[in-house]
Chains A and B, each alone.
Chain A
Amino acid sequence: MDSVSSTLTTPATPTSPSPSGAPLLRVRDLRTWFPIKRGLFQTTVGHVKAVDGVSFDVHAGKTLGLVGESGCGKTTVGRTILRLIPATGGEVIFKGQDFYKYRGAELRRLRRHMQIIFQDPVSSLNPRMTVGNIIGEPLTVHGIATGADRDDRVASLLHRVGLDPAYASRYPHEFSGGQRQRIGIARAIALSPDFIVCDEPVSALDVSIQSQVLNLLDDIQKELGIAYLFIAHNLAVVEHFSDEIAVMYLGRIVEKAGSVELYANPKHPYTMALLSAIPEPDPRPRKRRIVLSGEVPSPSNPPTGCPFHPRCHVTRDAAKQANASETVELTIGGRSERVLSKCVRECPPLEQKQGETGHVAACWVTQ
């Protein structure tokens, strides 16, 4: 195992090492808007704000979990950071360098330190390339190894992810989903990156294979000190895997905290609902369930104020206690509901809540 980390030690990076204590990756006010075009001249009539003002830090060797339902923008965040999708605005500071300012060869040099593992292990591997070429290609592209040296590195990478090095000459279709995901992991760690975006790495796998792949990712992190941005919709998987968790809703982070803290002490009503919605593998569950009404609204036309207010149970409860002048009646799904007018008017900022330092949530009601 050690041979892998040593043979794959990278030459000096083009960037200066980050000062100790500073995060490896700093994302500030990231925005990814997709234009909505209409009519003959394809004029832009609006934007889908897939990601709208997301900020977080990822520390070296640590995992930040990013969780949310489909359409919340979590995948777009991962891809925008890596510049697979151009950002509309915001900053990504990687190892103290402004990643979005780089171009051409310099950009390529920096990119080798950032990798991605995709959700779908079938479509993310080229069916016409052998496993050896898939894993070895980044080594060639970055001029790290060729010929026999490259083959050796590929063999040790395959061994590292629990596959027989003899598989290098085979094609992706000869492997099961779990094995393909291992190949994807081998490709991602081939360049000894400092940071990997894991985009739903286990959701396409069978239950018994999921735990194998999660354990492998865990071992690799401990061994090589890689930081992960772990994107998933399954909060139980994210909670298991992450040091810190950010919950996204409609393109924004609505809550962020250490993973133990977030589970024990959720502050945003959406996080509460998400936690309570996960069915527990216990025939005598003890938790209360919050069944959210409706679905995630379209990001092209988000609700005013707090984007969660049409589905929020906390604002409804608060409205019952509040002075009638502070509430407003809304018609939601054919029913009239009273909510706090503040929740409809203004979007709450992400602010420190009672609890651990660094536990932030965007809610007007909870403390």
Chain B
Amino acid sequence: MAPPPIPRPVTAARPLLELRDLNVAFETSRGLVRPVQDVSYSIYPGQTLAVVGESGCGKSVTALSILRLIPSPPGKVLGGQILFEGRDLLALSEREMQSVRGRDIAMIFQEPMTSLNPVYTIGDQIAEAVMLHQKVSARQGYEIAEQAMKDVGIADPGRRLHEYPHQMSGGMRQRVMIAMALSCKPKLLIADEPTTALDVTIQAQILELLRKLQRETGMAMLLITHDLGVVAENADAVAVMYASRVVEYATVEQIFDRPQHPYTEGLLKSVPKLGAHAQRLVSIPGMVPNPSNFPGGCKFHTRCPRTRELAARANPAETVEVRSGDETFRVMARCTAAGPRVVPQAPTAGEPELREESQGHWARCHYAENFEKAPVTRPDLANKREVTPEAVVVAELGAVTL
């Protein structure tokens, strides 16, 4: 049985970042596409929130909206609030926003190849960020850059400062990105798939580094990933996104021990686990729906094993036949839309709300354990796990210059 959520030891009454019912849309030739719908979550100082989901679920667009990096047009925020230390970032002027970016909130991207400018040296690029946000001279800027590179474990930073991105490997470039992001000591780091492009042994180095830096500086982290292993080892709280919405939000232990949403359950089962040789994988049928054409009702009903199982045993009057892709099957009527697709911003017919299943555990499913009794509350989770699963580092060997 899962232990109860561990209360956060650090006293911080209010969240560092709080998203309230964020809605983002893109104007396209095929109509309004809404990649972020009613997304709410919070991040407390020192906490790591992992946002998990497959491509197109809206996890990266949400992160870009926090920094107001969504190009507009075609993008626009339809509603909601992004509160950073109590201030609504959506209400700031562009100038004020510039001082938030990089200084208060920094971001690292998946692709370390394209996120660095190929015609400037590494030192120029880090120092530029430093000089922009801190009142320092160029010389001091380079000194801070050198120190930042040392902090992320780059050997011989004095020499590397004068190198260009193409002279470095992928893992090294990601370290440079982290050095740049951390050079201004941000309170929040948004890491969008920081290790997806890297090999596993390099991934282990980078994640170990991020954990160490987080311990030392107490910054909070929004970790966007599709890798459940990375989530399990790094997150305090987890938000699972599917088709533009948060479908489950809970502590990392609750997500892995007692998943309530069938999508979370499916994701957990579909990953091959080491040491479980040759067991057949459970897979989620169908594919991720296209945001320009989401199914009505619960957006997961076309792929949901739970509603199919229930429908097989239920009174046929409570079920309906659904056709998805090449398949025809029965699902619970409640999971589908009663009528045609509704206008944006109005609650979609048949779509379940995100309800608090048990204390500190939200799920969006009509057939979650306690859905009937569960209240609709604001998703807010302050937990920080006490023991980071500090994998024992057998050989911390430092960086090797190649």
Interface flags, B281-325, vs A, CB<8A=1, else 0:
111110110000000000000000000000000000000000001
User: What are the residues of chain A within 8 A of B55 when measuring CB–CB?
Assistant: 206
A274, B326: Cα distance in complex, Å: 40
- CB of B343 within 8 A of chain A? no
Q: Is the interface of B mostly helix, strand, loop or mixed?
A: loop
A243, B400: Cα distance in complex, Å: 35
> Looking at chain B, what size class is its interface with the partner chain?
35 or more
Closest A-chain residue to B238, C-beta based? A283
Known: A211-B281, A215-B283, A289-B391. A334 touches B401 (CB 8 A): yes
- CB of A278 within 8 A of chain B? yes
User: What are the residues of chain A within 8 A of B280 when measuring CB–CB?
Assistant: 215, 218
- CB of A193 within 8 A of chain B? no
Which of A90-98, A291-299, A345-353 binds B? A291-299
- CB of B275 within 8 A of chain A? yes
Interface flags, B221-239, vs A, CB<8A=1, else 0:
0000011111111000000
- CB of B252 within 8 A of chain A? yes
Closest A-chain residue to B233, C-beta based? A279
Interface flags, A319-356, vs B, CB<8A=1, else 0:
00000000000001111010000000000000000000
Task: Check if A263 sits within 8 Å of B277, measured CB to CB.
Answer: yes
- CB of A311 within 8 A of chain B? yes
Which of B97-105, B184-192, B197-205 binds A? B197-205
* Cβ contact of B275, chosen from A263, A311, A332, cutoff 8 A: A263
- CB of B92 within 8 A of chain A? no
CB distance from B35 to the nearest CB of A (A): 16
- CB of B256 within 8 A of chain A? yes
CB distance from A60 to the nearest CB of B (A): 18
User: What are the residues of chain A within 8 A of B208 when measuring CB–CB?
Assistant: 289, 291
Which of A2-10, A32-40, A231-239 binds B? A231-239
User: What are the residues of chain A within 8 A of B396 when measuring CB–CB?
Assistant: 291, 293
Task: Check if B252 sits within 8 Å of A294, measured CB to CB.
Answer: no
A241, B277: Cα distance in complex, Å: 7
CB distance from B252 to the nearest CB of A (A): 5
User: What are the residues of chain A within 8 A of B271 when measuring CB–CB?
Assistant: 207, 211, 236, 281
User: What are the residues of chain A within 8 A of B279 when measuring CB–CB?
Assistant: 240
**8 Å CB contacts to A: which residues of B148-183?**
155-156, 169, 171-172
A264, B275: Cα distance in complex, Å: 8
CB distance from A264 to the nearest CB of B (A): 8
**8 Å CB contacts to B: which residues of A170-220?**
176, 178-179, 206-212, 214-215, 218
Task: Check if A263 sits within 8 Å of B274, measured CB to CB.
Answer: yes
Task: Check if A274 sits within 8 Å of B201, measured CB to CB.
Answer: yes
Known: A260-B277, A298-B402. A292 touches B267 (CB 8 A): no
- CB of A103 within 8 A of chain B? no
A86, B362: Cα distance in complex, Å: 57
Task: Check if B274 sits within 8 Å of A235, measured CB to CB.
Answer: yes
Task: Check if B256 sits within 8 Å of A210, measured CB to CB.
Answer: no
Task: Check if B54 sits within 8 Å of A283, measured CB to CB.
Answer: no
A178, B303: Cα distance in complex, Å: 15
Closest B-chain residue to A166, C-beta based? B326
CB distance from A204 to the nearest CB of B (A): 10
CB distance from A100 to the nearest CB of B (A): 31
- CB of A259 within 8 A of chain B? yes
- CB of B253 within 8 A of chain A? yes
- CB of B217 within 8 A of chain A? no
Task: Check if B228 sits within 8 Å of A289, measured CB to CB.
Answer: no
- CB of A223 within 8 A of chain B? no
A293, B153: Cα distance in complex, Å: 10
Q: Which of B200, B267, B271 is packed against the most chain A CB atoms within 10 Å?
A: B200
* Cβ contact of B283, chosen from A212, A288, A296, cutoff 8 A: A212
- CB of B268 within 8 A of chain A? yes
User: What are the residues of chain A within 8 A of B275 when measuring CB–CB?
Assistant: 239, 263-264
User: What are the residues of chain A within 8 A of B270 when measuring CB–CB?
Assistant: 207-208, 210-211
- CB of A284 within 8 A of chain B? yes
- CB of B346 within 8 A of chain A? no
Task: Check if A281 sits within 8 Å of B398, measured CB to CB.
Answer: no
**8 Å CB contacts to B: which residues of A254-293?**
259-260, 263-264, 273-285, 287-293
- CB of A106 within 8 A of chain B? no
A167, B276: Cα distance in complex, Å: 36
Known: A69-B199, A240-B272, A274-B200. A281 touches B399 (CB 8 A): no
Closest A-chain residue to B281, C-beta based? A211
* Cβ contact of B400, chosen from A233, A239, A279, A295, cutoff 8 A: A295
A239, B271: Cα distance in complex, Å: 12
A164, B275: Cα distance in complex, Å: 35
- CB of A70 within 8 A of chain B? yes
CB distance from B232 to the nearest CB of A (A): 5
- CB of A313 within 8 A of chain B? yes
- CB of A310 within 8 A of chain B? yes
User: What are the residues of chain B within 8 A of A333 when measuring CB–CB?
Assistant: 155, 397-401
A236, B273: Cα distance in complex, Å: 6
Task: Check if B232 sits within 8 Å of A283, measured CB to CB.
Answer: yes
- CB of B394 within 8 A of chain A? yes
Known: A277-B203, A292-B201. A208 touches B54 (CB 8 A): yes
**8 Å CB contacts to A: which residues of B8-51?**
none
CB distance from B105 to the nearest CB of A (A): 25
Q: Which of A279, A291, A295 is packed against the most chain B CB atoms within 10 Å?
A: A279
* Cβ contact of B402, chosen from A215, A297, A317, cutoff 8 A: A297
CB distance from A171 to the nearest CB of B (A): 17
A260, B274: Cα distance in complex, Å: 10
- CB of A28 within 8 A of chain B? no
Task: Check if B54 sits within 8 Å of A280, measured CB to CB.
Answer: no
CB distance from B204 to the nearest CB of A (A): 4
Q: Which of B207, B274, B288, B399 is packed against the most chain A CB atoms within 10 Å?
A: B274
Task: Check if A294 sits within 8 Å of B402, measured CB to CB.
Answer: yes
CB distance from A62 to the nearest CB of B (A): 12
**8 Å CB contacts to B: which residues of A87-125?**
none
Q: Please give 14 more A-B residue pairs, beta carbons under 8 A apart, in addition to A236-B272, A283-B385.
A: A69-B201, A163-B326, A164-B325, A208-B266, A214-B281, A240-B276, A279-B203, A280-B273, A285-B391, A291-B201, A292-B204, A293-B397, A295-B400, A337-B397
Q: Which 6 A-B pairs have the closest CB atoms?
A: A294-B400, A279-B229, A293-B397, A289-B391, A313-B395, A240-B272
Chain B positions near chain A (C-beta within 8 angstroms): 54-55, 155-156, 169, 171-172, 199-205, 207-208, 226-233, 252-253, 256-257, 266-268, 270-285, 287-288, 325-326, 385, 389, 391-402
Chain A positions near chain B (C-beta within 8 angstroms): 69-70, 163-164, 176, 178-179, 206-212, 214-215, 218, 233-237, 239-241, 259-260, 263-264, 273-285, 287-298, 310-311, 313, 316-317, 332-335, 337
Would you mind naming 27 contact pairs between A and B with Cβ atoms under 8 Å apart? A70-B199, A179-B287, A207-B54, A208-B284, A211-B284, A236-B274, A237-B272, A239-B272, A240-B277, A263-B277, A276-B204, A277-B200, A280-B229, A280-B274, A281-B232, A282-B232, A283-B389, A284-B389, A287-B391, A289-B391, A291-B395, A295-B402, A311-B400, A316-B397, A332-B397, A333-B155, A333-B400
